[in-house]
Structure 1
C-alpha cells in the first residue's frame, strides 16, 4: 500500500495534544458495555427509549440518520488516519478478524458545525486504500458509491467517557456508544465504533424512558 493513507505528520519535540496534528485520540473508556448476545436477549435496552434504540441498535446509516434529523448535510472532520497495531485494551475484539497491516481512522461528524458524533474505524490497509479514496466522505457514502450491497452487524453497546469527548461535545458524559462490522460478500470489511452526543436529544427526546427509571442506566449530565 502507498504511504498516502498511512502516513502521520512529523511530531515536534513536545508530545502533541491528541487530536492535533493528526495524532489520534485514545479509544474511549467504557463504564458499561453489553455484547451482541446480551443485546439480542433484549436485556440491555430496558430503559432505553424507542428512538435511541433505533439509532443504537438498528442497522441504518448513522450519517443518514443525522442528516434526516437535522436537515443539514453531515460534515466529516478527519482527526487521524494512521497505521495501528489493533491490539489495545480498548480495541473491539472483532478487530482481530481483520487482516494486518491495519489502519485506524478517526473523525468528528458535524451538522451545522455542531459535533453530533465521533467515530473510529479499523481497516486492512489495502481495503482502506480501495474504499476510502475521499477522506472527507462518510464511510457509508464511500462504501455505497457503486451501489455495492453491504451487511451491518452491531456487536456491542456501551456507555463511555473521556475528557476529550466532554470537551468536544460540550457536555459531561457518559455517552452512548456502539460498535459494529460491515460485511461485503460474506467478508468482514471494517470495524467501526461510534459515540453520540447528548445533543441528539433535541430531535430524539431523552435517551431513557422516565417510566422505567428504576432499570435505567446512568443518564448523561449536561454542563452549561
Structure 2
C-alpha cells in the first residue's frame, strides 16, 4: 500500500471520500505540468511553495479565515500510524479545517497531522490558518511537495457547492531539518472565480 493510499483511506474514515483521476509525481514539480491538463493559474497555486493563505488573500482581496472542523488525537490503522510516525513523532493530532474568504463557500479543505508534543509551539493563535501562525513566528520552513492530484468527491461537491473535479496536493513542512506536519489540501474551483 502506498503512502498516499494510507492518507486516502484515512480520509474515507473521516467521510471525505474521493476518486483519484490523476496523480502528479514530484519530478513534474520542477518542470511544470502540461497546460493541456492544468492551466498556469492552477500550476501557480499548486506548485508554489509560498504561503497559501497570503496567495488566497491576494486573489480574493479578503482576509482568509479558518474554520476548525475537528482537532483530535488519531486512532487509526497500524499501517497509517506507521506511515505518519516515520516523519512525525507520536502521539499525533489530526486537524480538519476549511479556509474561507467569506462565511459561505470554503476555498480549501485541509487535513494535517502534527505531533502532539510540537503542535502548540507552531500555533500561537489556533483561530488563524497555519501559514499565519508560521509567519508570526518569523521562522524559515520548507514545503516538501509530494503529490498533486486531480480528484472527484461527492462529499466535497456538497461542501464546496461546486462540481468536481478538484485539484489537491499533499506535502510535508520541514523546520530546522525536521518534519513538523503532513498536510493534505483540496482546492475548490471557486478560488479561480
TM > 0.5 between the two? yes
**In 2: Cα distance, 1:90 partner to 1:173 partner:** 27
Shift of 1:102: 1.0
1:109-137 per-position Cα deviation (integer Å, ceiling 9, x unaligned)? 11122311111111111111322243211
What does 1:103-122 correspond to in 2, within 5 Å? 103-113=93-103, 114-122=105-113
Aligned residues: 179
Q: What is residue 184 of structure 2 aligned with on the other side? A: 193
Shift of 1:90: 8.7
**In 1: Cα distance, 2:92 partner to 2:17 partner:** 16
Q: What is residue 98 of structure 1 aligned with on the other side? A: 88
Q: What is residue 169 of structure 1 aligned with on the other side? A: 160
| Contact persistence 2:18–2:154 (CA under 8 A) | no
Structure 1 or 2, whichever has the larger Rg, is 1
1:69-128 per-position Cα deviation (integer Å, ceiling 9, x unaligned)? 11110111100111125658899x676311111111011111122311111111111111
| Ranges of 4+ aligned residues in structure 1 off by more than 4 Å | 85-91
Higher helix share: 2
Q: What is residue 7 of structure 2 aligned with on the other side? A: none
| Contact persistence 1:177–1:194 (CA under 8 A) | yes
- 1:35 paired with 2:25, answer yes
1:132-181 per-position Cα deviation (integer Å, ceiling 9, x unaligned)? 24321100111221211111121110012322200011112110001111
Aligned-residue Cα RMSD (Å) equals: 2.6
**In 2: Cα distance, 1:196 partner to 1:95 partner:** 26
**In 2: Cα distance, 1:118 partner to 1:189 partner:** 19
TM normalised by structure 2 equals: 0.81
Structure 2 unpaired stretches of 5+: 1-10
**In 2: Cα distance, 1:137 partner to 1:88 partner:** 32
Q: What is residue 152 of structure 1 aligned with on the other side? A: 143
What does 1:1-12 correspond to in 2, within 5 Å? none
TM normalised by structure 1 equals: 0.71
- Report the CA distance shift for 1:87/1:98 in structure 2 as closer, same or farther (over 3 A): farther
**In 2: Cα distance, 1:167 partner to 1:95 partner:** 32
- Report the CA distance shift for 1:25/1:77 in structure 2 as closer, same or farther (over 3 A): farther
**In 1: Cα distance, 2:44 partner to 2:74 partner:** 31
Shift of 1:201: 2.2
Structure 1 unpaired stretches of 5+: 1-17, 203-224
**In 2: Cα distance, 1:185 partner to 1:88 partner:** 28
- Report the CA distance shift for 1:40/1:186 in structure 2 as closer, same or farther (over 3 A): same
